[in-house]
Structure 1
Amino acid sequence: MSLLTQAIIFAVMLATGLALGLWFDLFRFINCRGRWAPFLDLLLWAAATCAVFVVLMNVNYLELRFYVFLSLTLGLLLYFKLFSRHVLHLYRFLFTFILRVAKFLRRLLVPPLGVAAWLVDGPVELAMALAARAAAALFPDPKQDNLPPV
């Protein structure tokens, strides 16, 4: 294996370590410590293992060498030392921004949609009630002549 190929593999695994750190911070931001936390931890690490497996399979046909683990670990450490705090602030900002936009859209759209639903639903309910009364008047209940003896 040439030195250039090894350098490319090192860079790809470094980027994979950075991506895993980003993913772990997203999981850490979302995860609430409830009864599902152990299952979600297991799911995260299973998905991370699968992601690393796919990257290793595509990059160097799953040849496990020391520099592969070194670059993956170095990518994770670089992420946690340099980017983690800023990314968590970004996640917090995006989460509050999305919540504010959702609340704004709810306040903006729910009242007109409620009025529109009332305008559509009212006549439909009235038409259904009138149709039910007309059907009851046109087709009265049949009399049961052959009742069983008591």
Structure 2
Amino acid sequence: MTAAARLAALDSLPADDLCQMAEVALAALVDIMNQETVLLRTGHIKQASTLTPDKTRLAQDYVGFARAVQRQGDRLRAEAPKAVDRLKQGHESLATQMAENLRVLATARTVTEDLLTDVAQIVGQQNKAKTYGRAGAVASDPASSARGIAVNRSM
């Protein structure tokens, strides 16, 4: 089926059916984002990352339905105003969940970066020579503190 045929099929659905399909996709997306947020909050980053493929698929599904709803907005408001109102409320719930999810992701990233930086500094301190310099103090080389450790900032 071509993309144009899929769009036409969505656009020709009865108003209640299209809204219901969008609501189901929206609820599933909010649910998986909530699961991810809970896992991240409790420090289960690896488990949270396993949700990414499903979250991506659900987000794509929802975006497809949301675009169909936008294209058919006038018709849907006329034929199924209550369903459109439910969708608006659901979308607000998604926005709230996304904001919380992004806050938790940012916190997890910061904590991870801080931990890796601390580990790099400790490893670097353990690897440097413990000799006295001219002034009678242990020489320090700040450039060697992160030798062998890299911080991936793409999280």
Quick check: TM above 0.5? no
Larger RCO, structure (CA 8 Å, separation 6 or more): 1
TM-score bin (small chain): 0.3 to 0.5
Higher normalized helix content (fraction of residues): 1
